[in-house]
Each structure stands twice: as C-alpha cells, then as structure tokens.
Amino acid sequence: MTTDQPADAAAPRGPLAMIVGSGDYPLQLARIVTDKGERPYIAALDGAADPAAFGDGADIRTYRLGQLGSLLEELHRRGIVDIVMLGALPRPSFGSLRPEVSTLKYMPHFAKAFLGGDDHLLRGVVRFFEMQGFRVHGPAEIAPEMTAPRGALGRRQASAEQRAELERGFALLATLSPFDVGQAAILADHRVVAIEAAEGTDAMIRRVADLVARGRLKIGKGDGFLVKVPKTGQDLRVDMPAIGPDTLRNIAEAGLSGIGVRAGEVLVGDRAALGRQADELGLFVEGFA
C-alpha cells in the first residue's frame, strides 16, 4: 500500500486492527468481534492497555506511542486497511514519546496536533491514519450493540414528566452545540443545575452531589437527571460520549434518578450489565431517538 492514498470507503471491510487504550470497552469490543468469528489484530498502547486481559488466544502486541512506525509497518505487512481505536489514553507529554527512528518522520504531524485541544488531537490522529491509507471505523459501527439502544436498559423507564425534563435537557445541549460545548447537563428541581464544559461528566456529577450535601440544592425523590449526547460535529469514530458503571454509581450517589442519552450515539458497553446495575440502584437509563 502506498501512503497518502485514501482507502476506498465503499469497499467491504477486511481484517480489523484494534488500537486500544485502557478500560473495559476495548475488551468488550474484542469479545464481540471474536464472537462473530473474526480474529482482530490488537495493538495495545503501552501504559494504558493490559494485554493479558485480552486472553491467551488474542493476536496482540504492545506498542509505545513512539513505535508508530513499527505499528504501521506491521499493519501494512498484514494487509490491514480497517482500524478502530478505543479506550482511554493518558495525554502523553510530547517529550516522553521516545520515538523510534521509523516514527520520527511522522512527528511533525503530531506536534501540530498536540498544540490544540483534545478534539484537535483526535482529529489529527484520524487524519493521519487516513492519509496513510487506512479506514478508521467507529466502535459503534463495528459493534452497535455497545451503544445505548432506544428504550430503557433496565426495568425502569422515565415517566412522562421525567421525559419532558429530559427533552428540555436535550434541547439545551443542542442549543450549546454550535459553541462546541455541552456534551452533558444535569436537570433537577425543574431547572438546569449543571452544564459540562472542560471538567468532564464525572466532575460535573460530583459538583451536583456537593451542592446537595451542602444544602445549596434540594433534589426531590424521582427528580434529577443526567442527559448526555454527542456534540454536533463530534467525530464518533474516535470521540464517542460514554456512560458506564462509574457514571451510574455517581448519579445514584448524587441522589439523581436517571440518565437519558441519544440512542446509538452514546457508548454504554455491556447493555445487560448496565441494565442490571440500573435496576439495583433504582435508576432509569434510557436511550431516545
């Protein structure tokens, strides 16, 4: 394969490489792909992914970020065009990459991407792989069963009144989208009590819990909701909003009653497990079209 040659986007998908960081999502994705009879090549990012967790049969190798050149060579050698990236990666310092010689030529591209925010960096990574002739797939495309379905994950559903509050939350987030902010918000006491910006969803939930603990905010029974959606223009291939067990635990601890997300556009990982946890915590977790 020659570089700077975009792959044919319409061509059927071939063998898959997974470039993975930390967390459960990469493990779930590998399991789903394997269960469907594929054997993905897994590039575990050093310091983030745990290769042992993928099991003995996995076709896996650990790469430092500075070994990008080796990774590309291996993918080319195997004729792999289709890749998916998933999992958390601590933002590395530019100096700590220790690039191997074959990686040095790619550094200027990333140096530029590093100067912007996280979104900018992620877009830079996608563009880089596309320029090298790869097709970058989103996890939702490879495994739609990892995203929120339409409807409730557990037994509880939002009531009509709760649903109206959630819709107000979705409308708020849609309004914020042109400002490239507002992936999540919390509504309680019939008003917007928190909007997420740079701090992240978990920090926002903790802030609300803290306001409640200090008597600054009262949340009645059945009141208080997290809404979470992608921002318009967010690249769902590498930057998909997600909720998981920690989100549910934090929501319950803050005294909130449920979570509303955009169906198909928010990662939930293991739907059944999250539904069981929602039931145990007395929460609703529901996807809306």
Nearer residue to a second copy within complex by CB, 116 or 151: 116
Between CA 47 and CA 55 the distance in angstroms is 18
Write down the least CB distance from residue 132 to a second copy, Å: 28
State both tokens at 188. 């309680």
Shortest distance in whole angstroms from residue 77 CB to a second copy: 38
Minimal distance in Å, beta carbon 224 to a second copy? 11
What is the nearest approach in angstroms of a second copy to the Cβ of residue 110?
Answer: 17
**What is the distance, to the nearest Å, from the Cα of residue 17 to the centroid of all Cα atoms in its chain?**
18
Q: Which residue has the tokens 């998909």?
A: 240
In this complex, which beta carbon is closest to a second copy, that of residue 100 or of residue 189? 189
CB of 236 to a second copy, least distance (A): 19
Measured in whole angstroms, how far is the alpha carbon of residue 96 from the centre of its chain?
25
Which of 45, 16, 48 shows the shortest CA–CA distance to 33? Answer: 16
Based on CB atoms, which residue is closest to a second copy, 139 or 224? Answer: 224
Residue 216, token pair as written in the block: 């600054």
Considering only CA atoms, which of 224, 169, 213 is closest in space to residue 195?
169
State the residues that interact with a second copy by CB under 8 A: 117, 168, 171-172, 175-176, 178-182, 185-186, 189-195, 197-199, 203, 207-208, 211, 216-217
Q: Phi/psi zone of residue 170: left (φ > 0), alpha (ψ -120 to 50 degrees), beta?
A: alpha
CA separation, residue 255 to residues 213, 258, 280 (Å): 10, 10, 14
Closest distance of CB 179 from a second copy, Å = 5
Minimum CB–partner distance for residue 272 and a second copy (Å):
33
Q: Nearer Cβ to a second copy, position 76 or 207?
A: 207
Between 142 and 212, CB nearer to a second copy: 212
Tell me phi and psi for residue 184, to 5 degrees: -150, 155
Q: In the sheet that 135-137 helps form, which strands lie side by side, from edge to edge?
A: 59-63, 41-45, 16-20, 82-86, 135-137
**Nearest residue (CB) to a second copy, 80 versus 219:** 219
DSSP-derived secondary structure for 183-229: SEEEEETTEEEEE-STT-HHHHHHHHHHHHHTTS----TT--EEEE-
φ/ψ of 185, rounded to 5, equals -155, 160
Q: Are 125 and 113 in contact (CB under 8 A)?
A: yes
Q: Which is nearer to a second copy, 36 or 214 (CB)?
A: 214
